Amino acid sequence: MSRNKFLASSTFRLALLYVTLFTVSVLALFTFIYWSSARYMAAQSDAAMETEIRILSERYERSGVVGLRRLILERITRQQPTGSALYLLMDPLSRPVVGNISRWPAVEEKDGWLSFRLETRDRDDAQTHPARAKQFALSGGFRLLVGEDIQELKAAERQIIVALSWGVILTLLLGLAGGFFISRRMMARLEVINETSQRIIDGDLRRRVPVSHRGDEFDRLATHLNRMLDQIQELMEGIRQVSDNIAHDLKTPLSRLRQDLEEISTQRPHDPELSETLSHALREADRLLGLFNALLRIARIESETVTPTLVDLSLADLIKDIVEFYEPLADDKHQKITLLIDDAPQLAADRDMLFQSLANIMDNAIKYTPMGGRIQLRVGTREDRPFLSICDSGPGIATHEHDRVFQRFYRTDASRSTPGNGLGLSLARAVLQLHGAVIRLKANDPGLCVDLFFQGTSTAPATPR
């Protein structure tokens, strides 16, 4: 499974979409949590300050400036030096009476509340802390300020933001990993189905999608696919069976017909016109018989009722025979046959069958290559298998027709006008498949290359002839 294929897979995209949505909702939730807890903390601190003001103003009512001053001093002393409460009492002339901040903050008040930056009491670093305070006017022109250094509060808020951010990142990572894992599993199961389909498209109709017996929807899909394939295979075999039966049943009466025609013609009719008609009829009968024989032969090879007589042979020697056999035909069309032998692989094959099937391919190459064209053969070892390629410089075969040219009676548009029964390549393929060879067609620009990969002698048992 390649990286790109994985990223392009719909399961992965689905997982990604889900992770994004999930992350956004987690983000919204965390924002709300932050907002409400920050508000709660601020409200708590405000309430504490208001309570303090009430207590202090009550003391002022009861025991005047002296009592209030003593109480404030007491509070400041008690909380030193780490306390965060701020106090300042000013007389009617705006002079500080008592407090732990030196002057009245120079900021606008809003509903009695002041927000300002506070010079720290720590001399070593001259930083300022955020602070919040409430002012209160006492009777007699005195003004009271009760506040709080909210540095700690802000720090807690920041801490909450950091924690929540980590939460979001973790959610995202876990979601991605989970999505990756799940989509990989999904893809692996889909990939099995895809691979099987490809094999079937490549011609291995007997292959089936594996069923895991978990009883889930993938298994149901696989079961359905397999049932469809069974039906297709049955239909195809039915069609083949019918055509083979027809060929078989017609062959006997046809050969009788041929015998009768031959008998009549051996009695040498003196009418030359009749004699001509008879020999024409005989030729037609021969052509039909040839067709039926070829069909039946393909059927028998494909159903493996024929046992090839395997011998150890040199692919190069066989190809030399083919070239020698076809050279005069190519010469007549001024075509040049070149044979390149990289090495001489041995293989176990039925010499006659293989010769015929390669002859059929060669026949096509010569037939479709124009006058003066080239036909190149190459023998060697590729992918650890005996290899042969037959390349021509003809019109080639369109890629979408590559599979179909091996079907019985299939003629490409370009070949309809040329003689032939459309069985040559079918026979060639049947024989090659019987030998475990793989056929690959590819374009030769211009022309066609037929690449054949055989099984070496090590993999196929040979019986001496």
Site of interaction with another protein (CB under 8 A)? 251, 254-256, 258-259, 262-263, 266, 279, 282-283, 286, 289-290, 293-294, 297, 300, 306-309, 321, 324-326, 328-329, 332, 350-353, 355-356, 359, 363, 421, 424, 465
Q: How far is the CB of 417 from another protein (least distance, A)?
A: 17
3-state helix, strand, coil in the chain (%, to 5): 55, 15, 25
Q: Which residues of 343-365 are buried (b: 16+ CB within 10 A; e: fewer)?
A: eebbbbbbbebbbebbbbbbbbb
292 or 454: whose CB is closer to another protein?
A: 292
DSSP 67-100: HHHHHHHHHHHHHTTT--EEEEEE-TTS-EEEES
Q: List CB contacts of 393: < 8 A, sequence separation 6 or more.
A: 369, 370, 373, 374, 375, 444, 446, 447
Structural contact between residues 418 and 366, judged by C-beta atoms closer than 8 angstroms: no
The DSSP secondary-structure symbol of 454 reads P
Q: How far is the CB of 324 from another protein (least distance, A)?
A: 6
Q: How far is the CB of 353 from another protein (least distance, A)?
A: 6
Nearest to 311 by CA among 464, 126, 183: 464
13 or 300: whose CB is closer to another protein?
A: 300
Structural contact between residues 130 and 150, judged by C-beta atoms closer than 8 angstroms: yes
Q: How far is the CB of 286 from another protein (least distance, A)?
A: 7
200 or 319: whose CB is closer to another protein?
A: 319
74 or 304: whose CB is closer to another protein?
A: 304
Structural contact between residues 197 and 30, judged by C-beta atoms closer than 8 angstroms: no
Q: How far is the CB of 385 from another protein (least distance, A)?
A: 24
Q: Which two tokens stand for residue 382?
A: 């590729």
289 or 443: whose CB is closer to another protein?
A: 289
Instruction: For residues 449 and 437, give the distance between their C-alpha atoms in angstroms, rounded to a whole number.
Output: 16
Nearest to 406 by CA among 200, 203, 195: 203
Instruction: For residues 44 and 36, give the distance between their C-alpha atoms in angstroms, rounded to a whole number.
Output: 12
185 or 280: whose CB is closer to another protein?
A: 280
27 or 306: whose CB is closer to another protein?
A: 306
Q: Which two tokens stand for residue 384?
A: 């650890």
26 or 250: whose CB is closer to another protein?
A: 250
245 or 279: whose CB is closer to another protein?
A: 279
Q: How far is the CB of 332 from another protein (least distance, A)?
A: 6
193 or 254: whose CB is closer to another protein?
A: 254
Q: How far is the CB of 405 from another protein (least distance, A)?
A: 17
Instruction: For residues 194 and 211, give the distance between their C-alpha atoms in angstroms, rounded to a whole number.
Output: 14
The DSSP secondary-structure symbol of 270 reads S
Q: How far is the CB of 356 from another protein (least distance, A)?
A: 4
Backbone angles phi, psi at 265, to 5 degrees: -75, -25
Q: How far is the CB of 204 from another protein (least distance, A)?
A: 25
Q: How far is the CB of 255 from another protein (least distance, A)?
A: 3
Structural contact between residues 319 and 389, judged by C-beta atoms closer than 8 angstroms: no
Q: How far is the CB of 278 from another protein (least distance, A)?
A: 10
Q: List CB contacts of 86: < 8 A, sequence separation 6 or more.
A: 99, 100, 101, 118, 131, 133, 145, 146, 147, 148, 149
Cα dihedral value 43, 45, 51, 55, nearest 10: -170
252 or 459: whose CB is closer to another protein?
A: 252
- How far is C-alpha 149 from the chain's CA centre? 60
Q: List, in sequence order, every beta strand (DSSP E) within 358-447.
A: 374-382, 385-392, 438-443
